[in-house]
Structure 1
């Protein structure tokens, strides 16, 4: 089974964290919460779920993971300015491991500079960031481009989860 990192900070979109996490866990994959500081408890922006960071990005090794999932909300803005988080995502991509982001999650991918010539989607408010980073924006519920999977909003979660599980299995 795969070992999947979930990148979190306070303010993630609750369902975009909870639903993929539960589906991946139920499928038998190992999950690890990675963030800026081990032990911090991060809450969703709607305050319906919270998770504790199990591993600091500074102590994370991409060689030990098969995938990363980046939920949206306001958390990606905090995560993308942390060089250890960015390095982790960049290293996973360089190993052709799965990098999945929904809503604002691709902001971390932009900062990791991994979107050149990739097809992807995101929350419409950051589509220009995607284009400016060399990505090709598509307004679709889910886009799979090599090792990168992206979706737009919570309404696209079923397709996002389906494609992640297809890649992991």
Structure 2
């Protein structure tokens, strides 16, 4: 597995503030440990602060590229961490939502954890999909047409979702596996 993602490029999204640190750092490390390269993406470039448990300050990280500077074609996979404030900020930003929606339509692996599926709901891509999230998003996902299940990791045609930081080991394993597999041609939105 050390080089299973050699020549693969992955974008990992950070919000301007409030992304859950381990949901960013662990998938990033998993991709890099598997030989992939990672770009940290966000609404705008610059330093951002992450959190632990939504409330406690964690680390400071650099957003290397804004959504306006890249295209979905630049990446073989995309990861969207959670964090209540971070996920809420991302779902309220048109460029973030459009990037996630466009990425979903490429049929490339898209991995989202915890509160991150709020962005999927806002991007209108959960209808007919089976996914999981932090338990408080269950109603949002069901109202958007998704089939919410309570499992540590769910994969639906390359869409990888997990509930919370306790699921990170399974989530990271599936992130690497799905990016290694590549595009999932059966994944389409109802309006595509």
State TM-score, norm by structure 2: 0.84
Which residue in 1 is equivalent to 2:111? Answer: 100
Map 1:50-61 to 2 at 5 A. Answer: 50-61=60-71
The answer to whether residue 11 in structure 2 is matched with residue 5 in structure 1 is yes
Structure 2: distance between partners of 1:58 and 1:76: 19
Q: 1:21 aligns with which of 7, 28, 40?
A: 28
Q: Point out the structure with max Rg over C-alpha.
A: 2
Query: Which of residues 91, 95, 116 in structure 2 aligns to 1:84?
Result: 95
Say which of 168, 171, 178 aligns to 1:157: 168
In structure 1, the partner of 2:59 is 49
Q: 1:4–1:67: 8 Å Cα contact kept in structure 2? A: yes
Q: Residue 76 of structure 1 contacts residue 108 of structure 1 at CA under 8 Å; is this kept in 2? A: yes
Q: Give 1:130 shift.
A: 0.7
- The aligned residue for residue 41 of structure 2 is 34
Q: CA deviation at 1:30?
A: 1.0
> 1:63 Cα shift?
1.1
SS at structure 1 position matched to 2:48: strand
Match of 2:81 among 49, 71, 95: 71
Cα-to-partner distance string for 1:132-158 (whole Å, 9 max, x where unaligned): 111100000000001200000110000
Question: How far apart are residue 64 of structure 1 and its match?
Answer: 1.0
Q: How many residues align?
A: 168
Q: Distance in 2 between matches of 1:2 and 1:86?
A: 23
* CA–CA separation in structure 2 for the residues paired with 1:112 and 1:21: 23
- TM-superposed CA distance for 1:4, in Å, is 0.7
- Partners of 1:126 and 1:140 lie apart in 2 by 14
Structure 1 length as normaliser, TM-score? 0.95
What is the distance in 2 between the residues matched to 1:11 and 1:99? 20
| Structure 2 portions without partners, runs of 5+ | 1-6, 181-192
- The alpha-carbon deviation at position 48 of structure 1 amounts to 2.9
Structure 1 residues 129-140: aligned runs within 5 Å: 129-140=140-151
